[in-house]
Chains A and B, each alone.
Chain A
Amino acid sequence: MVKRTSALSDALQLAWVRLRRSLTTILLTAFGLVAAWALLNLVIGGQCDGKCVVDALAQTLRVATPIAFAAFCGVLCERAGVVDIGIEGKMLMAAMAAYSVNLFGFQLLQDALGPVAAGNVSRWLALVMAVASALLLAGLHAVFSIRFKSDQIISGTVINILAIGITGYMYRAFLAENLPAGPGTFPLVPIPLLAEIPVLGPILFHQKPLTYLMLALAVGIYWMLFYTQWGLRVRAVGEHPRAADTLGIDVLRTRYINTLLGGVVAGLGGAWFTLEAVDVFSPLMTNGLGFIGLAAMIFGKWNPFGALLGALLFGLGNSVTATVSIFRPDIPSQIPQMLPYLLTIIVLTGVVGRAVAPAADGQPYEKS
């Protein structure tokens, strides 16, 4: 008993040390928020009041969700030493799978269950299928990069292009026209009591299920990586696979598992597009968010909390530009639309030099 409490207090102490280390980041973030708000009001002439700020922040969290999922996928893969740039493709695939299962599942179940129950069942079924389809691509990437040791960046690109090919084909074959009405996206799930808190409530606790799941995953993955046996082994495999191997840790198995776990997370991110954001699927709808997620991962130095912060940064950029286009319709829409991509490049160039990837990232493991 004594032993456990001491281990827990160790864990807490470690967490506190890490928190203190990231204090600068937190302060900078706060400063950035204020600056963004000031700049926003400058552009739109002081029209953004309190409600508008809260809305923008809630929107930030919403938009950050798929980016964060993508970044978590990256963290899981790359901590084990597998570079995954196929996140975009996995999300696209998952978005399509979720949409079609949601739609056609609903058609099948509607008569038997009634519209409300059928909607619920088909949405969750869609989520499962989204994860399954992303898992399939992740499995492909895993086999290619781990079993066949092919170039991981090329393999990830292959996943992306394959996903574009498959979704494009399926879209034209089945989803382009004459679709019946679907059950729609997940409804908002306000958390009782917490949602009533002023300011924080509407931002954090008045969201849809995947957003909550994303926040829970940030904590979960962090804890798993740094406090559990699994995490220690994963980090060892990503940094020095041969050392891990000499201690009897199965490097390839660890990498397979993590790449597949990454696929699950990317699948959730893909499901966000058609189960939380909008009720249609369109080709290429992921719009580079998978790549932005990778940038968020690098920004966050391969740490789930850092990655979440990066995702929130992009979410903020997005919601600010959205707010701008609402208040200033005279600015051509393409200009603010460019900003997230510009922001990604700026973040990449500013951070990447100082962030060090896991040492064995991207190198196939050759069992001597």
Chain B
Amino acid sequence: MPPALQAIGITKRFPGVLANDHVDFTLQQGEIHALLGENGAGKSTLMNILYGLYQPDEGQVWVKGELVKISNPHEAIARGIGMVHQHFMLVPPLTVTENIMLGQESLVSATRMLGRLAMLDRRSAAARIRELSRQYGLAVDPDAIVGDLPVGAQQRVEIIKALYRDADILILDEPTAVLTPQEADELFVIMRGMVKQGKSIVFITHKLREVFAVADTISVMRGGAMVGSLKPAQATRELLAEMMVGRKVILAIDKAPARPGLAVLQVEGVRVLDDRRHVAVDGVSLEIRSGEILGLAGVQGNGQTELTEALTGLRRVAGGKILLNGHDTTHATPRQLVEAGMGHVPEDRHKHGLVLSFPVRDNIVLCTYYRLPNAHGIELDYAVIARQASELVRIFDIRTPGIETTAGALSGGNQQKVIMARELSRLSERHGAQNGAPLLIASQPTRGLDVGSIEFIHRRIVEARDAGAAVLLISAELDEIMSLSDRIAVMYKGHILATVDARTATREQLGLLMAGVTPAAARPGQREGAHD
């Protein structure tokens, strides 16, 4: 039997980057092939080439023993290749049926002669979707509006979308990033079922644990090149990690036990509405002390974003109370919070964290441009600003041609360092004793970064803690939460289900909490089991 999919010597260059460097990759029929690599290793580029979204500069693609040229997704679909993208390719205002049949619409046969103006036959499409949904155990409601569905359901829609097109080769790009550990396990069961029914699956991930759970073969990419392929039996976590990063990796972060001091942030029964005026955060209470890191875990979309925005003054608080070092900051503006000693590493660095068209220099003073020594009256003092920026660029090892370079020209890791530099440098300021200890709110601080940058940023966060800051860490990566936090709060549907001690917490326990399952013991204490 020829391989389902084979890539030979694929090379792809982007301006300034060699994204794929003579990559070979073989997917056998009926296997789950895990493709492992850190962010920027070239996994997505390779898959986008196989799916016809990019054209390779060199190399061959074979599908089921046939040399092919896939110049667009249409051809990939015709050859039985389906792809579930990391960022879902779903149109939120359309229904599940409309999303699935888009591009391959079922039409009312009598109106076919109208060409493109033929009428849609939603009912027959929905029937087909129900059938697929039964066959593979992927529960979806064909009439639901996709934008209203939780991410897990949206992922099922994506998978059905590929199956609807009779795909027998499925590429799943980081499918578990949005799932709880238990949901991920369910997905693995579904993947196993699909393989039994004759499908072949490429499973892209950067999580080592998942590879062992589901893969038949493991391939590792690094820096645009294929490092090697092996069977799970031959692999160990340490080996795979080293293949991914190219050097020995310390998987756990070395940190001293926390020495919590006075309470810095106190959140009492806070309610927050989302953009559509639904309650997104419903009576959340938290306390973070000086010198500790509280990790906020939860599946994306359970109110963490809204809570963070409320805490940082970006979103109105609909009820409850927030105290920062004993002062009421419930309705404080971002500016007041900056003055009160809060640092905020925002979730989306392009949306909130940086002005990409501004030079690094201006981004460094984005929150403090208005006050001494950066400005006298209304006049900016660019000499001072430039000196400060140069110094931070040096201290935080930001790789940039100069402080006049626009932030948009930097790599993701360096952009994040600019933000960290700005926020942490402010925390270490001391202005007025009554301000108490500073607070750092870091939301998805390492999203999309390479291992080197991740290590750097983790170290800085722990240093800030050790220097006495209170840290709230919000992350979708359970590993990050578990390795950095001193205590972990789990958020589900706007509530904090439990707060547990990080040293004793297990992945299974947290996973259940993230899915909304509360063991009776954890229920009463929203603030229990915390500090020693």
Contact = CB atoms under 8 A, between A and B. Distances in A.
Interface string B121-148: 1111000000000000000000000000
A3 interface: yes
Nearest to A237: B91
Contacts of A3: 108-109, 121, 123-124
B110 interface: yes
A4 B118 CA distance: 12
A229 B107 contact: yes
Interface stretch (A105-113, A119-127, A240-248): A240-248
A178 interface: no
Contacts of B53: 245-246, 368
A246 B116 contact: no
Interface in B77-124: 77, 83, 85, 88-94, 98-99, 101-105, 107-110, 114, 116-124
B453 interface: no
Contacts of A78: none
Given A228-B114, A229-B107, A229-B116, A243 B121 contact: no
Contacts of A7: 108, 119-124
B104 A247 contact: yes
A42 interface: no
Contacts of A232: 94, 98, 101-102, 105, 120
Nearest to A367: B53
B80 to A, nearest CB: 14
Contacts of A248: 72-74, 77, 103
Contacts of B116: 228-230, 233
B94 A245 contact: no
Contacts of A247: 73, 77, 89, 102-104
A248 B101 CA distance: 12
A35 interface: no
B119 A228 contact: yes
B191 to A, nearest CB: 21
A117 B47 CA distance: 65
A239 B99 CA distance: 12
Contacts of B114: 228
A245 B124 CA distance: 24
Contacts of B188: none
B121 A246 contact: no
Nearest to A1: B110
Contact of A236 (B77, B85, B102, B104): B102
A273 to B, nearest CB: 30
Contact of B73 (A4, A10, A245, A359): A245
Nearest to A368: B53
Contacts of B110: 4
A11 interface: yes
A47 B361 CA distance: 70
Residue of A10, A249, A359 with most partner-chain B CB within 10 A: A10
A228 B112 CA distance: 10
A16 interface: no
A235 interface: yes
B54 interface: yes
B123 A243 contact: no
Contacts of B121: 3, 7
Contacts of B89: 240, 242-243, 246-247
> How big is the B interface, by class?
35 or more
A368 B48 CA distance: 10
Residue of A233, A244, A248 with most partner-chain B CB within 10 A: A248
B129 to A, nearest CB: 15
Contact of B102 (A4, A6, A224, A233): A233
A10 B122 contact: yes
A248 to B, nearest CB: 3
Contacts of B85: 246
A229 B118 contact: yes
A227 interface: yes
Residue of B51, B108, B109 with most partner-chain A CB within 10 A: B108
A66 to B, nearest CB: 26
Nearest to A356: B93
A227 B120 CA distance: 6
Contact of B91 (A10, A229, A230, A243): A243
B117 A224 contact: yes
Nearest to B124: A3
A239 B73 contact: no
Contacts of A10: 122-123
A228 B118 contact: yes
A135 B232 CA distance: 62
A359 B48 CA distance: 24
A359 to B, nearest CB: 7
B51 to A, nearest CB: 8
Contacts of B109: 3-4
A239 B92 CA distance: 8
Given A228-B120, A229-B118, A240 B73 contact: no
A217 to B, nearest CB: 14
A229 B103 CA distance: 8
Contacts of B104: 247
A239 B88 CA distance: 13
Contacts of A249: 102-103
Contact of A4 (B74, B90, B108): B108
Contacts of B102: 232-233, 236, 243-244, 247, 249
Interface in A1-19: 3-4, 6-8, 10-11
A227 B119 contact: yes
Nearest to B88: A243
A365 to B, nearest CB: 13
B401 to A, nearest CB: 25
Given A245-B73, A368-B54, A240 B120 contact: no
A244 B104 CA distance: 11
A248 B478 CA distance: 36
A249 to B, nearest CB: 5
Contacts of A235: 91, 93-94
Nearest to A248: B74
B124 A233 contact: no
A248 B118 CA distance: 18
A50 to B, nearest CB: 42
Contact of A229 (B51, B117, B124): B117
Contacts of A359: 92-93
A233 B103 CA distance: 7
Interface string A334-368: 00000000000000000000000001000000001
Interface in A224-276: 224, 227-230, 232-233, 235-236, 239-240, 242-249
B123 A230 contact: no
A236 B74 contact: no
Contacts of B119: 7, 11, 227-229
A246 B91 contact: no
A235 B102 CA distance: 10
Interface string A112-145: 0000000000000000000000000000000000
A193 to B, nearest CB: 30
14 contacts: A6-B123, A10-B123, A228-B116, A228-B118, A228-B120, A230-B117, A235-B93, A236-B91, A236-B94, A236-B102, A243-B88, A246-B51, A248-B72, A359-B92
Given A232-B120, A243-B99, A243-B102, 11 more contacts: A3-B108, A3-B123, A7-B124, A229-B120, A239-B91, A246-B53, A246-B73, A247-B73, A247-B77, A359-B93, A368-B54
